[in-house]
Amino acid sequence: MKRFRANAAALCAFFTVAFAGFCQIAASSVPEKRTDVFSTGRVSGRLCGEVLEAGPAEDTCSIGKYDIVVARDGSGDFLTIQEAIDAAPYYCREATVIHIRPGVYREKVTVPANRQKIHLVGDDAMTTVICWDDYALKPDCYGNPMGTSATSTVFIYGDDFLAENITFENSAGEGKDIAQACAVTVDADRVAFIGCRFVANQDTVYTYGKGQHQYFRGCWIEGTTDFIFGASTAYFEDCTIFSKKDSYITAASTPEGEPFGYVFRNCRLEAADGVTKVYLGRPWRPYARTVFIDCVMGGHIRPEGWHNWDKEYAEKTVFYAEYGSVGEGAGTSGRVEWSCRLERGEVSDYLPDNVLDAGAEIDKNGNIVPTEWFFKEIF
């Protein structure tokens, strides 16, 4: 028995030493994990609103120093955009400004609901690209089609989000084997995009959330079918809307009772060569609301302008209107009889401040107070 115990003890000691040696060898063979100065020193110990000087991020912009820098070559704080977003504080009272240096970032990105006031800044939308290639008919881990709602390259769930000078792209392509493939899904309130590009085919921009408000200024949005769609209230100002196929631009699903759906103001409606028959929109849901004001419409816009999606009942419930647009496709004499032209006195109702009014909320003292846009200087 004693001999057995001695042998067992020796065997145990042997395996202990061997295991320790194995761990040491394994650790030495695995590349050392990058220690990000921001994540270890500037985020984990920070209080929202502090002025932070630590970290390698030396880039500056009109608002001062960036909080985080993302660079594919390793010269910033993080290599990926998702790492930078994950490093931002929860429910911060101040903006977390993330500079994305030029490059094509092949990643699927999510801004969670608890990461609010995220501000992504690129130098130039043509050189700062977020790209992925999921599509609706792509098999998931169970072999089933993943569906439209899972395809976006970027998902935004955090309120008070702002992106500038960035391309959001879904590179899946198009066709019967692809179906829908979104570039961005916005399921958050008070979200804005300035000088951005949205590149995909069917269902490029998904303005998902009911009762939410989104603003697009100076953006390029391209696609084939229903490439701006969803339930949110969204304002498009000074944007270029580029149709790549004879099809439909918008497919609003505005909830019943909402005063506004989509508003396009001072936008240019352009098309690829050979595209000649494009509708302004069709109703994904029966109370769709879409308005075009002072836009330049190319000759690819069909004379009838709007389509009922083979839902005659929707003709009585949708609100499709135009005012002051010019160009070959802007003539309203041939528009469907169930669309309308705004009166001059109604146009002032469609200013950004009014359309994007985020309503009110009850504060901790029980008082009703207006809900303010955090990045309210943008319009």
Whether 220 contacts 240, CB under 8 Å: yes
Classify residue 199: in a domain, yes or no.
yes
Q: What is the pTM of this model?
A: 0.85
Residue bearing tokens 């069909």: 302
From CA 306, how far away is CA 281, in angstroms rounded?
A: 5
**Does 349 participate in catalysis according to the annotation?**
no
Classify residue 178: in a domain, yes or no.
yes
- As to burial, measured by CB atoms within 10 angstroms (0-12 exposed, 13-18 middle, 19+ buried), residue 65 is middle
Which CATH number characterizes residue 174's domain?
2.160.20.10
Active-site pick, 77, 160, 187, 203? 203
Mean pLDDT for all residues in the chain: 87
From CA 157, how far away is CA 110, in angstroms rounded?
A: 8
**Does 187 participate in catalysis according to the annotation?**
no
From CA 275, how far away is CA 244, in angstroms rounded?
A: 7
Active-site pick, 67, 77, 187, 226? 226
Whether 97 contacts 123, CB under 8 Å: no
From CA 331, how far away is CA 325, in angstroms rounded?
A: 8
From CA 163, how far away is CA 228, in angstroms rounded?
A: 18
Report the number of distinct structural domains present in the chain. Answer: 1
Classify residue 63: in a domain, yes or no.
no
* 190 phi-psi bin (left φ>0, alpha ψ -120 to 50, beta other): left
Reference 217, options 164, 260, 262; nearest CA is 164
Classify residue 136: in a domain, yes or no.
yes
CA-based R_g, the chain, Å: 26
pLDDT at site 235: 98
Q: Which backbone phi and psi does 146 adopt, to 5 degrees?
A: -70, -25
User: Can you say whether the dihedral through the CA atoms of 91, 378, 206, 357 is positive or negative?
Assistant: positive
Classify residue 163: in a domain, yes or no.
yes
Decide: helix, strand or coil at residue 173. Answer: coil
**pLDDT tens-digit readout, 179-221:** 999 999 999 999 999 999 999 999 999 999 999 999 999 999 9
DSSP secondary structure letters along 198-229? EE-STT-EEE--TT-EEEEES-EEEESSS-EE
From CA 300, how far away is CA 285, in angstroms rounded?
A: 25
- Residue 168, domain extent: 102-257+341-378
Classify residue 33: in a domain, yes or no.
no
Classify residue 58: in a domain, yes or no.
no
From CA 120, how far away is CA 129, in angstroms rounded?
A: 12
pLDDT at site 28: 36
State yes or no: pLDDT of 82 exceeds 70: yes
Residue environment code for 271-292, b if the CB has 16+ CB neighbours within 10 A, otherwise e: beeebeebbbbbbbbbbbbbbb
Residues 6+ apart with CB under 8 A from 171: 131, 132, 133
State yes or no: pLDDT of 22 exceeds 70: no
Decide: helix, strand or coil at residue 93. Answer: coil
pLDDT at site 58: 52
From CA 338, how far away is CA 321, in angstroms rounded?
A: 9
State yes or no: pLDDT of 5 exceeds 80: no
Classify residue 159: in a domain, yes or no.
yes
**pLDDT tens-digit readout, 323-341:** 999 999 999 999 999 999 9
Structure tokens at 65: 């120093």
Distance of CA 149 to the CA centre of its chain: 13
From CA 170, how far away is CA 198, in angstroms rounded?
A: 8
In which band, very low, low, confident or very high, does the pLDDT at 223 lie, cut at 50, 70 and 90?
very high
pLDDT at site 12: 42
Decide: helix, strand or coil at residue 309. Answer: coil
In which band, very low, low, confident or very high, does the pLDDT at 320 lie, cut at 50, 70 and 90?
very high
